[in-house]
């Protein structure tokens, strides 16, 4: 495993060096592929805000940057958090009179609720070189459209019959639907192509429905269209693989 990690590191190091050694980003806008590794923090509002509190996100974007500073691509983000609202009501069917949950073997069980989700989006953005160290840096305005889903994951340290398939689907509150996003950030492309990052404000809107349609804990149908709102911050470190054949050659 250690040799594998070393090989991967050397591969990416050689890839970056060979792709960027003859590309000058200081004097002109350049083109090539951008690999973004994202970290975000969001505060949910709207319908999703009634289910969950603040949560984190991790993601990966692959984009193509043109010489006119357009970014075209897409990516995926994984949503995760521990702040599940009204968890006691969600697990109300499982509690005994003394406030405990008993597993199928008769022992007490700890059930922990978590927020989990995924977002898949196509994205288009524009870098406005209003400030920064070179024409490839500045203000990033980006929009996205795609698919979002979120649900409640109930983890337990013992077997709980009601939480085994297919009954667990009645408690996970799985929502899916269309997702839109907006990202306003500072886009920094380092002159030496080592320090490359974005940081800014991220907004997202989800137009979702309860896929399960029926919630066991409320014993009622949930068929309404939902508007899920997310407000947060996002930062990324990116790896640029510039197209040296489309640039001027600079030998060192």
Q: What is the CATH number of the domain that holds 218?
A: 2.40.160.20
**Residues listed for the chain:** 252
Task: Give per-residue pLDDT as tens, 162-181.
Answer: 787 888 898 999 999 999 99
Using an 8 Å Cβ cutoff, are 193 and 21 in contact?
A: no
**What is the distance between the alpha carbons of residues 154 and 110, in angstroms, rounded to a whole number?**
10
Task: Give per-residue pLDDT as tens, 18-77.
Answer: 444 456 788 788 999 999 999 999 999 999 999 999 999 999 999 999 999 999 999 999
In a domain, 45, yes or no: yes
Owning domain of residue 231: 2-246
pLDDT value of position 99: 77
For residue 6, whether the previous peptide bond is cis, meaning omega lies within 30 degrees of 0, is no
Domain count, the chain: 1
Tell me the pLDDT of the chain averaged across its residues. Answer: 87
Of residues 149, 160, 151, 45, the one with CA closest to residue 91 = 160
pLDDT value of position 252: 34
Q: Coil, strand, or helix at residue 175?
A: strand
Q: Which residues contact 55 (CB under 8 A, 6 or more apart)?
A: 41, 42, 44, 79, 80, 81, 83, 115
In a domain, 252, yes or no: no
Top pLDDT among 245 and 17 is at 245
In a domain, 251, yes or no: no
246 pLDDT above the threshold of 80: no
């Amino acid at each position: 495993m250690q040799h594998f990690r070393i090989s991967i590191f050397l591969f990416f190091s050689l890839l970056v060096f060979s792709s960027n050694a003859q590309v000058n980003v200081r004097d002109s806008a350049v083109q090539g592929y951008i690999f973004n590794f994202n970290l975000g923090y969001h505060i949910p509002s709207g319908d999703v805000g009634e289910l969950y509190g603040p949560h984190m996100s991790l993601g990966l974007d692959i984009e193509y940057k043109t010489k006119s500073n357009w970014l075209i691509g897409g990516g995926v983000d994984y949503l995760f958090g521990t702040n599940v609202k009204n968890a006691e009501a969600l697990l109300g069917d499982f509690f005994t009179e003394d406030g405990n949950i008993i597993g199928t073997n008769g022992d007490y069980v700890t059930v922990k609720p978590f927020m989990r989700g995924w977002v898949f989006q196509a994205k288009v953005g524009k870098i406005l070189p209003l400030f920064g160290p070179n024409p490839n840096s500045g203000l990033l305005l980006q929009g996205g459209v795609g698919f979002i889903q979120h649900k409640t994951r109930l983890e337990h340290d013992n077997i709980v019959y009601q939480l085994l398939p297919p009954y667990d689907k009645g408690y996970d509150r799985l929502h899916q639907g269309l997702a839109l996003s907006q990202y306003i950030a500072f886009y920094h492309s380092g002159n030496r192509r080592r320090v490359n990052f974005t940081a800014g404000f991220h907004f997202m809107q989800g137009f979702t429905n309860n896929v399960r349609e029926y919630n066991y804990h409320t014993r009622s149908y949930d068929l309404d269209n939902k508007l899920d709102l997310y407000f947060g911050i996002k930062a990324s470190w990116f790896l640029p693989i510039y197209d040296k054949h489309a640039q001027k050659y600079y030998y060192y």
